[in-house]
Amino acid sequence: MADNDPPVPPQQSIRTIELPAYPAFAEHESPSIATDWEEWIEGLDAMFDAMCLTSDREKFSKLYHYLGNTRRTLKKLDDNGIQQKSYTQAKLALTTYCC
């Protein structure tokens, strides 16, 4: 850059969040669904701890993301009135549903 070139304006910072990879819960009709759910949600909770997530609302949004496109499971949240975006309520409703 020459001395008489105009300064390059700073680029605006766009905050991007890269979430860690975690498999979506594979909903299925079998006797092992309760065990599979418990293992999946325990792993998700461990990941949340590693991510230092403490907000119930933030955990809810990540749960919703990591559930994937399992329409029946997401519908179950709606059917149980989980509209407060509460991770604690959603986890209880889904655990009751799966177990």
Q: Is it the case that residue 75 has pLDDT exceeding 80?
A: no
89 confidence band (pLDDT: 50, 70, 90)? confident
CB count within 10 Å of CB 62 equals 19
Q: Which amino acid is at 64?
A: Y
Contact 87, 63 (CB under 8 A): yes
pLDDT in tens, 4-42: 776 666 665 556 678 899 998 887 777 888 899 999 999
Q: What is the pLDDT of residue 77?
A: 65
Question: Whole-prediction pTM value?
Answer: 0.71
